[in-house]
Chain A
Amino acid sequence: MLRWTSLVLGGATFLVAHAIERMWWTMWFSAEWEPFFMNSGRAVAFTTACLLIAGLIAAGFARDRPDALVHAGNVTAGAGAVMIVTVFAIGPGTLFPIAILFGLVILAVGSYLGALVIFPFKPAGGSAGTGGGRTRA
């Protein structure tokens, strides 16, 4: 079930998105709060879009549709891990477990939507996870 490429891709995507948000925070996203994607509606949309692209790329490596979903899950996990580190790096608020949960849902929505885009171009398959985690990549 582990797809290292997608896992790293997810983490890297979140890092890049966070770096861009940090750089342009006061101009594009929010003048009020600490740069973090869930502190601004625009940043939520931007990060979701980045994860959607990452999910799409990761699903492109998949053998079939179920494998595409596994890749999307790995993208979410990679991005989620970096997000949790970021939450603690900027200082967790009093709602941090709820924030992490919300964040994971948002990242999953982006990744899985990206994977769904690639669905029509993949065979139906049905053997996700049985191939020992091998991918075409």
Chain B
Amino acid sequence: MKNTLEARTWFRLAVIVGVVLTLGGIARHTAVRAAPGNGVKIMPNGRAPDDNPGERGATYYALEAQTSRFTTRFHDGTTAVAERTADGDIETKLRDLGGNEINRFKVGHDKLMYLRPSATPVQAVPDSGVHATFDWSNRQSHRLFEDGVASGAGLEWRDGLMRHTSARGKDEEAAVVREVETRWAHGLSARTARVRARRGDVFDGKPLQGDVLATILMRDGVEVGLANYLTYERVFVWTIPGMSEGSIGNDHLKQQFNGWPFTPDMVWMNLQTIALYHWKETITQKGFVARCDQPQPNPLVQFFVPTVSANEVGCDGLHWLDHTVMRYCCDSHDNCYERDGCAYKSWWMFWSSWRCDFCNILAIRCFQTGAIPTGKIRRPPAAPVDY
């Protein structure tokens, strides 16, 4: 009797343990499958991460982080000024045309705060997909004002911005922003405005179409350079006298990125122009990190067997022009040659095909016009007085 009772107890215990273990196993298995963070995402070798239009890369954000003050002037006359506070947060103050404060927007490590005069503050948790930059803070502040947001009710994330559910219309830089100004480290600052192409403005011999993002670069309040982004032609051209000048177009980026991997905007123009100056200055002061010495081939062998010259980056046989506006002509010629399968031996072979000659004619024309005359680079209009 006692044995039967004991056996029954042991049996029940075993059943309970079995059920618990089975349920535990199922729960664990489900949890492992459900947790998305546990799976390692594999990327094919030699491939860049999938495109994320909102992301500009580590270098961009490292440069952006050195901004001390960022001003956005909007088409409606309001001006947002973002500055970094002592505790590392970003604070934007939005003012109207008369200089009256409309709102403040604070970007903290783990919270966003929207403040309006004589109104209850609105606090929100940042969206993990949003990179909170100075520009974003200014645009968000302006967007909340435009949407007439008075409380936290009815707010939603839309295209990386907090919007009221009833708000319509997209927040596009071209339609909303008139001008941006970046005050950076080392006394550098840049200001970019969107200007219309004027009659007579030409690039590569053709009249300009579309808007021009015109940037002026200053060092300690003195102009040191100019840059333009031609929005229709998709060409970035810059001149920093005595330091660097040149241009980058779709042709230059086709091979590696299949064209521009993003659409340059006014903030990028400021940071890119500042970076060109800063890096060039750093190289001049500190020199290159690595030095590449030419191998010394046997002169006798070199005499009888000349180097098989592959197409070099830049201006082949004219590398002293690599840092001038002529570089654009050389790179366009290289791309044209690569596309049409040309080499130095097919320089002038009109009797078989005109395709290589066409590349050469374009290059000659480009050299004649100097890609883009420096004097044609547009300046942004004079900046209004800040409050």
Contacts and interface: CB of A to CB of B under 8 A. Distances in A.
Interface string B306-337: 11110110011111100000000010011001
B318 A34 contact: no
B364 interface: yes
Given A89-B306, A92-B309, A94-B342, 19 more contacts: A32-B292, A32-B319, A33-B312, A34-B307, A34-B309, A36-B317, A38-B319, A39-B319, A41-B320, A87-B317, A90-B306, A90-B307, A91-B307, A94-B311, A96-B347, A97-B348, A97-B360, A99-B316, A102-B318
B20 interface: no
Interface residues of B, number: 31
B343 interface: yes
A86 to B, nearest CB: 10
Contacts of A38: 317-320
Contact of B363 (A32, A44, A90, A95): A95
Contacts of A35: 294
Given A26-B293, A39-B317, A39-B319, A93 B309 contact: yes
Contact of A94 (B294, B343, B348): B343
B302 interface: yes
A61 B320 CA distance: 34
Interface in A42-64: 43-44
A110 B311 CA distance: 29
B136 interface: no
Interface of B: 291-294, 302-303, 306-309, 311-312, 315-320, 330, 333-334, 337, 342-344, 347-348, 360, 363-364, 367
Contact of B316 (A25, A41, A88, A93): A93
A98 interface: yes
The 3 closest A-B pairs by CB, nearest first: A93-B316, A91-B309, A99-B317
Contacts of A25: 294
A131 B333 CA distance: 47
A99 B302 CA distance: 21
Nearest to A36: B317
Contacts of B333: 94-95
Interface of A: 25-26, 30-36, 38-41, 43-44, 87-99, 102
Contact of B318 (A32, A88, A91, A99): A99
B297 to A, nearest CB: 10
A118 B364 CA distance: 35
Contacts of B347: 94, 96-97
> Main secondary structure on chain A at its contact with chain B?
helix
A32 to B, nearest CB: 6
A96 B320 contact: no
Contacts of A97: 347-348, 360
Contact of B337 (A32, A41, A91, A94): A94
A62 B98 CA distance: 77
B186 to A, nearest CB: 27
B54 to A, nearest CB: 37
A24 B315 CA distance: 22
A89 B294 contact: no
Contact of A95 (B291, B315, B348): B315
A87 B318 CA distance: 11
A93 B293 contact: no
A103 to B, nearest CB: 8
B363 A98 contact: yes
A96 B307 contact: no
B319 A30 contact: yes
A102 B291 CA distance: 28
A95 B363 CA distance: 9
A102 B308 CA distance: 22
Contacts of B292: 31-32
A34 to B, nearest CB: 7
19 contacts: A26-B294, A30-B319, A33-B312, A34-B307, A35-B294, A38-B320, A39-B317, A39-B319, A41-B320, A88-B306, A89-B302, A89-B303, A91-B307, A93-B309, A93-B344, A94-B342, A96-B316, A97-B347, A97-B348
Contact of B344 (A33, A39, A41, A96): A96
A94 B334 contact: yes
A49 to B, nearest CB: 15
Contacts of A44: 320
Contacts of A94: 311, 316, 333-334, 337, 342-344, 347
* Residue from B293, B312, B333 whose CB has the most chain A CB atoms within 10 Å: B312
Nearest to B324: A41
Contacts of A99: 316-318
Contacts of B291: 31
A35 B311 CA distance: 16
